[in-house]
Amino acid sequence: MRFAKGAIGLYDAAIHLSETVTTIMIDTTRQPDGELLLRTLAMPADTNANGDIFGGWIMSQMDIGGGILAKELAKGRICTVSVEGMTFHNPIKVGDVVCCYGRCQRIGRSSMQIKLEVWVKPVLRENEAQRYCVTEGVFNYVAIDDNGRPRPVPALNA
């Protein structure tokens, strides 16, 4: 087998990394920010090639959770318009309980900015009693009418 110059070093490094035990850094003082919007179980069908839960699946769960909060605030239909600053802190393992927390950071005329965090509670693993934040990001939603056009978000006390 032929490797490009320097490629064998990368291959050896990849093998070494795959054999290294991953240590998850857990901040035990931090608590979830916002209300619990969604709780689900990470399943084998949701894994990537490394056996961890696929980042796209995590992002879709965040969008569902954020959409629930946005729909409640808008009192009707909403759509996702953008995602800002996704940060993946730690991998999620099959069997972990995945919880999505969120709070509204800002409401505009028709838009809502929702800060979302994904927390994991390991089940049947070390640190089973500890939950920790694995992902966070800001999702932007717009209230829409029956024709899909932006409409005002009702006043919070209305």
Cα distances (angstroms) measured from residue 51 to each of 10, 59, 64, 155: 21, 17, 23, 45
Comparing 4 with 65, which gets the higher pLDDT? 65
pLDDT attached to residue 85: 87
Residue at 23 is within a domain: no
Q: What is the pTM of this model?
A: 0.79
Q: Do 83 and 67 form a contact (C-beta atoms < 8 A)?
A: no
Residue at 11 is within a domain: no
Tell me the residue range of the domain where 37 lies. Answer: 29-143
Encode pLDDT of 17-51 as tens digits: 344 344 556 666 789 999 999 999 999 999 999 99
Residue at 71 is within a domain: yes
Please state, in angstroms and rounded to a whole number, the distance separating the CA atoms of residues 62 and 78: 15
pLDDT attached to residue 130: 84
Residue at 80 is within a domain: yes
Q: Is the pLDDT assigned to residue 146 strictly greater than 60?
A: yes
Encode pLDDT of 60-83 as tens digits: 999 999 999 999 999 999 999 999
Q: In this structure, which amino acid lies at residue 22?
A: T
9-21 average pLDDT score: 40
Q: What is the CATH number of the domain that holds 59?
A: 3.10.129.10
Residue recorded with tokens 């850094």: 25
Residue at 69 is within a domain: yes
Residue at 152 is within a domain: no
Q: Based on the structure, what is the number of domains in the chain? A: 1
Residue at 1 is within a domain: no
Encode pLDDT of 82-134 as tens digits: 999 899 999 999 999 999 999 999 999 999 999 999 999 987 666 566 889 99
Q: Is the pLDDT assigned to residue 10 strictly greater than 50?
A: no
